[in-house]
Amino acid sequence: MIMLTKGAEPAILAKNSEKWTTELEAEILNGGDNVSYRTSKYNTKEIKSALQEEVNGKCAYCESKLLHVTYGDIEHIVPKSTDIKLTFAWPNLTLACDKCNTYKAAKIGIYDPYGSNPELDFRFYGPMISHSPGSDVAEITHIELELNRAQLLERRHEKIKSLLTSLDRLANIADNQMRELLKNSIISHESSPEREFSACLKSLIETKRQRGEI
Ligand SMILES: [Zn+2]
């Protein structure tokens, strides 16, 4: 997980969020059959595109790349079941992969990557994610969202192997300046927010730096 910053509210949401909320509240009060239809009004291409941009095309929680064909699932940081007014509240919306979306469901107390810095609260041991001592929310989050599920461990492991191979190849470059340039280029590419699992890769790079290995 990496820290995220809220982008500008899409025009369609700014224009309609109040109206959609009023219509949804009325539908619920009347015990109507169209609650899920009214709730899903946020599911537009414009809103999903804006969210895609602020999450760098990755799940806000596990950092898996979202497939461009599916756009990911719109996720309510604080569950909409907690307060109906949060259904169309722009600051409460993000994007998650279908697995994180399903595991999170209506759980409360899950880490908010917009409100805190995950790099301080989560730790990596190779491909495994854990939490910093005392970071209870981070602990609850990686357990509840199963951020060490087999598929994620396997894919983070692959990324680590690929990064280590690239760094090892630097040893074959005789020219010091060229080697340094390439090293910096690899590090900046692998730890950029757009990179899948960048928090894990950044943590590995930092460990290698501290050991004086790179
Ligand atoms: Zn995910």
Tens-place pLDDT, residues 49-82: 999 999 999 999 999 999 765 667 899 999 998 9
Q: What separation in Å is there between the alpha carbon of 169 and the centre of ligand 1?
A: 32
* pTM assigned to the model: 0.93
**Residues bordering ligand 1, an ion, CB closer than 5 Å:** 59, 61-62, 97, 100
Q: What separation in Å is there between the alpha carbon of 187 and the centre of ligand 1?
A: 24
CA distance 25 to 9: 22
The pLDDT of residue 213 is above 80:
yes
Question: How many percent of the chain have pLDDT more than 90?
Answer: 89
CA 143-147-150 angle, to 5 degrees, is 115
Q: How many CA atoms lie within 13 A of 50 on its CB side?
A: 19
CA distance 159 to 85: 40
8-state DSSP, 170: G
Element (H, E) at 131: strand 128-131
Yes or no: say if 113 and 3 are a contact pair by the CB < 8 Å rule. yes
Element (H, E) at 29: helix 11-29
* pLDDT score for 67: 77
The pLDDT of residue 32 is above 90:
no
Yes or no: say if 194 and 65 are a contact pair by the CB < 8 Å rule. no
Q: What separation in Å is there between the alpha carbon of 103 and the centre of ligand 1?
A: 9
User: In the chain, what are the domain boundaries?
Assistant: 11-98
Tens-place pLDDT, residues 80-93: 989 999 999 999 99
